[in-house]
Amino acid sequence: MTSDLEEILALIPHRPPFLWVDRIVSREAERIETEKQIPADLDLFKGHYPEHPLMPGVLLCEAIFQSGALLIAAAQAGGAGQGGVPVLTRINNAKFKREVHPGDKVNITVTVQEKVGPAWFMSGKLAVGGKTAVTVDFACTLVEKAESVGRQ
């Protein structure tokens, strides 16, 4: 199964320049695989280790979290508009094992560990060149759209 940007934009509220998923590679009820090509010309590389540009770990985690949000939104009838917006509520055990550089393609896998009411507990892995770069456990909760907008 492949997916394009239109489906991603229909499922989650994230938009460029803060959209960190390019494509859904595969999706099952409790697992999703996505990918992102890291643009070589991102402005952030001018200031994040300019002599040895690295993708910030927090943005690699964000790619994992957005992939989890896609999984949650796709599991809802009709996408994110039906049951609320997935919002990050917990981050545990983030481990950074490998650098990601401008121009790298990353592959992301997110698996649901448990679902309790509106909360989804998940594990994510981001790999580059077939090798694990980041692992993280996290949780997202569905909130009503008006609630999430009111917090801004």
Residue with structure tokens 């909360």?
Answer: 119
Between 76 and 92, where is the model more confident?
A: 92
Per-residue pLDDT tens digits for 8-29 = 999 999 999 999 999 999 999 9
Domain limits of the chain?
5-150
Whether the Cβ atoms of residue 60 and residue 94 lie closer than 8 Å to each other: no
Check 14, 48, 52, 101 and give the catalytic one. Answer: 48
Superfamily of domain 5-150: Hotdog Thioesterase (3.10.129.10)
52 belongs to the catalytic site = no
- % of the chain beyond a pLDDT of 70: 89
> What pTM does this model have?
0.91
Beta strands in the chain (DSSP E): 23-28, 31-37, 85-96, 105-116, 119-128, 131-143
Confidence of residue 85 (pLDDT cuts 50, 70, 90): confident
Q: Mean pLDDT over residues 125-152, rounded?
A: 84
Residue 81 has pLDDT above 50, yes or no: no
Q: Nearest-CA neighbor of 97 among 62, 52, 56, 133?
A: 133
Between 143 and 103, where is the model more confident?
A: 103
